[in-house]
Amino acid sequence: MRLIICDDLAALNKAGADEIAAVVGAKPTAAVVVATGKSPMGIYAELSTRSARGQFDATNLRVFQLDEYFGLADDDNRSLFAWMDRDFIQPLRVPLQNVVRLKSDRLAWRENCRAYDEAVKAAGGFDLAVLGIGTNGHLGYNEPGSHAHSPTRALLLSEQSMDASAGYGWSRKEVPLFAITCGMQPLLTARLIVLVVSGAHKREILTKALYGPIGPEVPASYLQTAGNVVVICDRAAAPEQALEAAATTQKKPQAPAVHRGVKADLVLGVDGGNSKTVAVVAQRNGKVLGYGRGGVGDMYGATPGGAMHAIDTAVQAALQMADVGGAAVGSASYSLAGCDWPEDQQLLTQLLSERGHALKLQVVNDSVGALRAGSPRGWGVAIACGSWSAIVGRARGKSAWIVCPWQPSAGGGGLAREALEAVYKANLGLAPRTVLTDRLLRFFNAEDVTGIVHQFTKREGPHPQAIQRLAPQVLDCAAEGDAAACRIVFKQAEDLAQVALSMARQVDIDRKEFPLVLTGGIFKHRSRLLPDAIAANVRAHAPKVQVLRSDLEPVAGAVMLAIELAGIRCDTRLRARLRNSMPDSSFFAT
């Protein structure tokens, strides 16, 4: 992701026009989808001026409408198509036969949506998507609740969107309740996405979109998983993190990119998961020099391209902080969720090797890094519980790691699913009442349990995503003594313990004194009910087990693996140096 911060609107308009002109210059027949709204209007005016001077030619473009109010007549002057026609199509002399309109006929809108998506597919996908962002994080009219795979469809407008529409030819009472919009899926797979944002009122939502959790609550947050995004904003809209990074970059002299060079004394460790990706650059003695964050690094949770983008974002930030310039480090270890099978490891190794971050690299499952971080001796069994769960084992003196190919439905997602079932059954009178009901009603902003069920099963519209964020509610209720929540927690503890014992048997350490490492966001909850129950279950069959709460973040395990890849032993002093130079815990918060 590139972020361009402009001093004023004139600079913003020029920067946006330059990005669009570069795409059209390289491919005059490009398929583009363009937003209306205030933010991109100056860019279109700049392109119109260039077109009049013969400096820009849009006559061969294939232009797709982004969104439209529902049920308007084709000739309604208040429609978004009429706006696009006035400010983009006519000034740039785009032939109407090159325009794919998003018609919102009340009777045939489903067929029109399918026809629109087929037209996008026939064009080979979008070459360029020019987007704005709503104050609630919508892209197009993909309102909060829209997931990354949402198709083109009709949906109910939010109050914020209706308020924003008032004044554009409508009174507030006249604003349509529904809109039809190009889906998130075709937008996120565009070859280039240009997000244009201006004004202080957009700073908060842009910060959430670029730096916050990825999920349907802020649809624009899925841009963190997209392959090629340029964000162009003015200083009023720029997030504080971006302004600070820009100031730091301006102070540092930039290393020439002509000769990469190698800094063999440095290593790179990357931990990629379903909520975030973290990269750390360190000296081979364990001292951390730089770190960075990205989005979803699990290619199953995003896509291979989205995962690579998240990894690149985190790595480049870490390299920049470490003042590495364009050089490669000596060794790197990537500890990634989604590295589950040999073909996954092969693909990830190929993609990461092409990036040239390090002379030597290895790619392992994220549970491997978690065990290496949590076990001072580098062996044992680790249970990693974050969005989901992973369990790994390794014997003393062995180089091989054995990752369990089957996991129980555990971690945050498992807790959430069991909680939903408990609430559904209680509502039907098939199970006792539970305080989980009130917690889930607030979480889903539903009036009753039927409303929650409807959100998951309705035929039209987005369904809730990232339900693993329910996990803290389940753990809270269990800590308060709710019977249903306690049963859920104890069942997960039993399942995880059984798999952990199986891994210990497979590496032949179950009868010995071995470390069991508990790591991941779920184990950071203030209640110790789950970890204590796991420990009790394991000790019942392996009384010599040493249950450890990892004193290092999982990315530290990736760093140690990279150091070991360089042929250096990680002793207690190195671990201490790594722990003492890691960023503050708030950097890792999800």
Query: Which residues are part of the catalytic machinery?
Result: 67, 136, 138, 143
C-beta neighbour count of 524 within 10 angstroms: 15
| Residue 389 bridge partners (DSSP) | 385
Q: Where are the alpha helices (DSSP H) in 37-196?
A: 41-52, 80-84, 109-122, 159-165, 184-188
Which residue, 164, 167, 152, 170, is CA-closest to 33? 152
- The dihedral over CA atoms of 433, 439, 442, 447, expressed in degrees to the nearest 10, equals -10
Across-strand partners of 515? 546
* Strand 229-234 relative to strand 153-156, pairing: unpaired
- If you write DSSP's letter for every residue of 181-215 in order, what string do you get? E--HHHHHT-S-EEEEE-SGGGHHHHHHHHHS--B
Sign of the alpha-carbon dihedral angle for 26, 307, 345, 570:
positive
Structure tokens at 53: 């001077």
Q: How far apart are CA 92 and CA 59, in angstroms?
A: 7
E strand or H helix at 374, and its extent?
A: helix 366-374
**Pairwise CA distance, residues 83 & 69, whole Å:** 12
Task: Compute the distance between CA of residue 142 and CA of residue 129 in angstroms, rounded to an integer.
Answer: 14
Return d(Cα 567, Cα 91) in angstroms, integer: 63
Can you read off the two tokens belonging to residue 234? 């003015």
Closest CA to 129 of 270, 3, 35: 35
Residue carrying the six token digits 């508990």: 518
Q: What is the dihedral of CA 75, 76, 78, 80, to 10 degrees?
A: -50
